[in-house]
Structure 1
Amino acid sequence: MGRSFLIFLVAVLWAVECAVISTKEPLGSGSCRDFGQEFERTFSIPGEVAILECPLQMHYLFNPADTAYSVTWYDERTGSEITELEQSVMLKKTQVWFFNVTMQQQGKYTCVVRTVNECYKQATGLVVSKMTSENCERPQRGVQRIRAHVNDLLACPLRRYLKSVDSPSIQWYKNCKLLQENEKFAPHKDMLNIRKVHLDDAGFYTCKMTFRLAGVIREMAETIACVVNDEYLMKPRVIEPVNEIIKVERGSSFRKDCIFEVQGKGIPMVDVIWKVLLESEEELISRNTSHRVHQEPMNERQMEDGYRIVRTLSLSAVSEEDFYLNFTCMASSSRGHPSAQITLVPADPNIFLLLGLLLGSVALLFVTGVLLCTIFKVELALWVRTVFQFLYKTTDCDGKQYDAYIAYPRVLEGSSEKAEIFAMSTLPQVLEGQYGYKLFILGRDGLPGEAVVDVVQDALSCCRRLLLLYTASSLCSPEAQEWAEQQTGLYRALVENSMRIVLLELEEIRQPLRLPHSVRLLKDKQGALQAWKRRKRWAFWDGKSEERVTSLEPSAHFWREVRYHMPVRGKAKQRNFSF
């Protein structure tokens, strides 16, 4: 019985110990997302106020403005929740305030943040140690650097708590000596102004904040290790702009660099900004590069004797409202605030551009006209003759009876049969039947029994043109050449060029040297109308420039060329002046 009771007692004690151990885990945080312990720690000395900030960056986890959440603190040493029921402890939002911190309160504390669906936790450390230094150094201190030979500032690290307490006041100490306003130091709230910094001004500076909290006067302090850099930077100097008035076109894009140079050694604490004066108030130009008017990020480049700082003003499209505004570029630094400005005005019309466009248009029209006249020369000439007949003199009073004399070689064995068919049938049907020309064709219009030489000579004197038809066989044979020479009038017209002659080539001449000498010279001089060729004006469309016609069916272009070389039948009467 006694042994059983002993075993029962041991089991109870073991269960109680397990329960105690399990409570060391923060209540309800076992399923929280754990971010471990923060590297940064909070340092304090006994008797002062120590403040722990929740290390969780909640704005990365959720939106604190739209999400309901709660903050709970736990003491890792005991596993218990920290509440305001404890003596000298106050909870403020995400902070824990220890009014009179003690050595026993040193340790690890966990901040737990809960939302409706999520839970997060992270630990931070509190270090409490005594101050034993003769220079009143605190156990932990931040480093701030100031520059020699100029006026510079130290900032109190406790200024972030000024709005969290009542009646705050700050006193500055160097080592253990209270600093008063004098020619060297000028304490001002949370800043300490040190005039004409010297190398001896390096050392430990402490800012002590006295305040009222929960009706009791408290105090806390921070020590700064001040380092003096023997580096000197000159006042920023404007390179550009130089109070410029710039002409720009409406709707065009515009960019302007603002360039400052800072000579000397050190780290330039200079901020360059663009601003604009609107309705007597200066407004900062937007830094959002998606806006129509914005300033681009600042570009800083080190040079041999200092730094060059550039910030660009950009207008994606200049509008009417941008004109006559003062865009000011200013450099903000401890040495001063130099600035420069530009003003945009509408650009004058570009006379040279307008003149160039005008001359270019005229040249383009001229070239286009030349090309059209070259390509459509025949069509245009025929159209003008048809529409403006009154511009051309009538041929009724020129003493000529026929518009054209049709000549073609007549040799034996049917070698000129094709030319004869074309001359006796096709040509009259088109020129006489469709267009009303009067033709003289030997064998059709001459009187029977007349001598050929006399008929040809008389007929040529009554005709305005001579149309000579030939094929490859009809004019290249010896008989054809003899025929041409026998036609005394025809031969004279060819040789003496006494009238306008039009060569109608009905077949391709593969051996042009076989042509009569006079015909060959005439062809070389003025060319021949080739009825056997069907030309395509837009040859580059299908890669072909011409097409040979096997049957004697000339193209429409051939007939237009024949009409182009025929006499013009105008309506204007000739005027005879007698003296």
Structure 2
Amino acid sequence: MAVGFAVLWTLWAWSISVSAASQNETAGLGESVCEDHGEEFERVFAFPNEAALLDCELVKWYLFDLFNIPYNVTWYDQRSGLKFTGEEKHAVLRGSSLLFLNTHMEHQGHYLCIVRTPDQCYKQVRVLLVEEEAFGACHRPWTAVQRVQNQFNDNLRCPLSDYTSIVDSYSIHWYKDCELLQKGSRFHFTENNLMLHIRQISYDDAGFYTCRMTFNLTGVISVVSETIECEITDSSLKRPQMLEPNNSTMKVSEGSSINKTCRVFLPAKGIHMTGVVWEIKGYYVSPNTSERIHQGPQEELQVAEGWWLERSLFVSRVEPDDFIVNITCRAFSHQGPAVGYFTLLPEDPNLLLPIGLLATTMALIFIMGLLLYREFKVELVLLFRNLFPFFYASTDGDGKLYDAYVVYPQGQGDTLSEAIETFVLKTLPQVLEEYYGYRLFILGRDSLPGQAVTDVVDETMNLCRRLLLLYTSSSLSRPDSLSWFEQQEGLHRALLDDSLSVMLLEMEQLSDPSILPESLRLLRDKQGALQAWKRRRRWKCTRTEEDGEEDQTPLSLFTLSARFWRKVLYYMPVRGKAKRHSKRKLLLNL
């Protein structure tokens, strides 16, 4: 290595003297007004009969705007002052580069690169050194040092990548010393063989690696090679650790903005060479803040244990194409890479409001249904009975002769009792018997003359399906009444035997229900009573006119509402059409 550096410094001193001697020649080219950048320190080395590429390093963004300002590049041979036109047999112009296809010893020298823009002019000298190849040498005398980490997987990159963009076709082979490397378990070639990947690096992998390119340009076949000196380092540095993103998902709504930070911890001390970048669909995210998706600058914080590295990703507006795509953050370092990603998913629809509205609507419908059912229960049940009579068992064959036994206050001698008697003997039969077809038993009307009341009541109640009991505040408190025995017998059957269903018709408003007999009061509290006097004051035996006079009106002259009669029908026996069966289960028991 010491000999190589000595040769390098000797050649550099020689080039400076030649450059000074040819300064007058350069001035003669008429370019003394150009901004002089001197001589490029980095030399281009070549073997005879190999290619050599000279790049014009003046084509840089920091000198002028490459993308918006037009420019042209011209090459001169400083020794002769001749301009390269691209028609030379041994040299080719490609963009801002000068390529020697097959160099010879006479091609060694200084070459002037001049860059002109509409307003500026720049010039710089490149030096080409041609050296005879030593006999039996397995690598070039000038090398590029690349370091890899012991016990890790790492890469060696071929320095000939500049050739790939200007040649027509090429192939690359790798050598370690003089041995051709083949793809196997430890060596792998990527990026068109420009990258040599070595697995599980050990100290035995140190040495000289040469990548040799054979290319075709305008029908001319040429070769070029570069040697890499591979050094093995054994540092305490470890791989970077990707903390965020951690391969998770993020639910966002379309059109929203997001800000995601990539956080990497590097357990290394001193200077590091780790870069953190965001990429989407294999492309690096632009740092241009005017773009919809861009990344911020890399931020670093050194701590006692290492370095914290962060880089933020900004999405100003999420679009449909951003969903179900891995957005990746990569950390590149000499110790190895670290990768993390996250995926955007469409946000779940906000169902809280619809669910709340639905629940509220259902609750309102339920409450309204309850209220409607409570208000129109009688009408709905009667309608169902008329539409679907086959759901109810027929009363034929149940051993009953009458649908209802009617008990009412008799012989009390007051106006109310007379009105009730008229209602029972005329109005009730007209509606229930003649119009609806029910059969009623009314003592005195349907009993035979001379029959004992006790026998009639007992036998007839066994033949009835209902007991229709009409009462007033005082009708059940007079044992001398003709109906007193009927009332007591019916209440006994309803409360104790539970063999007869009772329908109570309260014919006048009670100021104090406690005046009723206890048996009737218990039954009234248990099942309720049809209050004929409710809502309409027609059941009062007297009423007051506007002039203050009392108008005596019999009950029979009043017309009961249709709703009252519907309630009566509701409690009357149901006349179904289905045949009776001991094991039949009815759909409804209304």
| TM-score of the superposed pair, with normalisation by structure 2 | 0.46
| TM-score of the superposed pair, with normalisation by structure 1 | 0.47
